[in-house]
Amino acid sequence: MLAFMTMALWGVTFVSTKTLINQGLTPAQIFTIRFIIAYIGLLTVCLIRGGRNKRAFSQSLRDEFLFLVMGISGGSLYFLTENTALSYTQACNVSFIVCIAPLLTILLTLLIKKLFKGPIVDGLEDVKVRLPLIAGTVIALTGMAMVVFDGNSLNLSPKGDILAFMSALSWAVYSQLSGQMTERYGTLYATRKVFFYGLLTIIPVLILSDNSNLAAVEFDNIKVWGNLLFLSTIASLFCFVLWNRILIAIGNVTATNYVYLNPVFTLIGAILFLSESMTLVSGIGSAMILGGVILSGVKKIR
């Protein structure tokens, strides 16, 4: 239920991000502002809670490096590649390619378990390629194509499509580590470290970018500050904390399958806030995605 709710909220973020881009903000600026607000809020909670939540560094250099990888893969690189891809290719291409993250998570987990040994590898979900997982993935992926394309033609754009694929791969890498690091350090601390390293690694992008557009952005407009607050407090702070707990509860592969639900909730958000409509094809595709996610979570058919 928490995974379902998280995907519902993350699905709406596409509408918020699109609104902010239309208001003149760049993808890097949107990420930086939302994560700064979220980090301040999370740091405040950690300091109030005290104990291990307020420590500055983790227990070892290896763990600190893993948090850096998580900050890049689940933060700066993921959001930058996903949002920038929209500038070079169709939104339907980006949505479809990014949502192959569950498939990449499965393949990456199987590959890592085959090639490497150690406590990090042992902590990954024990993936068994059974019929429910295969069938559920195929059904959800088919439904995804129906929702995203909905009769539209696919126009390839190499730069945009590569960026979208990098975003999906980045999230798959994040999913490998976040569950066990959260279990080791606690949800609040692990999420705080991800936000910190996400912000730290986006700084070079901001320095090399032209930020003169900020002078023309109307930050007193409710479309700007309202969407920034939603993205920072709900979609970032609240949902990232939830997601890390979800990964502990149901495993990195099973949890990532819920990413297939993203375009369903994006479509619902577009209907409510952008006055778009749902076609019969999109409705059938949404039902297939939901059914595929449920089926893929079945551990064994007796």
pLDDT by residue (tens digit) across 132-174? 777 877 887 787 677 666 655 555 567 777 888 888 889 888 9
**CA dist., res. 139 & res. 295, Å (int):** 9
Higher pLDDT, 251 or 200: 200
CA 284 and chain centroid, separation: 24
Phi and psi at 23, nearest 5°, equal: -85, 0
d(CA 219, CA 164): 29
Query: What residues contact 172, with CB distance under 8 A and at least 6 apart?
Result: 101, 104, 105, 108, 256
CA distance 256 to 258: 5
Query: In degrees to the nearest 10, what's the CA dihedral of 135, 139, 140, 145?
Result: 140
Tell me the pLDDT tens digit for each residue of 7-47. Answer: 888 878 877 887 888 898 988 899 999 899 989 988 998 88
Beta carbons of 252 and 176 less than 8 angstroms apart: yes
Contact of 99 with 144, CB cutoff 8 Å: yes
2 vs 85: which has the higher pLDDT: 2
Q: Which two tokens stand for residue 72?
A: 């890049």
Give residue 298's pLDDT. Answer: 64
Q: Which residues contact 184 (CB under 8 A, 6 or more apart)?
A: 63, 190
Entry pTM: 0.77
pLDDT the model gives residue 6 = 87
Residue 175 is predicted with a pLDDT of 83
Residue 110 has pLDDT above 50, yes or no: yes
E runs forming strands in the chain: none
pLDDT band at 67 (very low <50, low <70, confident <90, very high): very high
Token pair for 3: 């995974």
At 57 the three-state DSSP class reads: coil
| Whole-number pLDDT of residue 229 | 93
Cα(274)–Cα(44) distance, rounded to whole angstroms? 35
What is the chain's percent helix, strand, coil content, to nearest 5? 80, 0, 20
- Residue type at position 236: S
| Confidence grade of residue 182 (pLDDT, cut at 50, 70, 90) | confident
Contact by Cβ (8 Å): 25, 219: no
What percentage of residues in the chain have a pLDDT greater than 70? 82
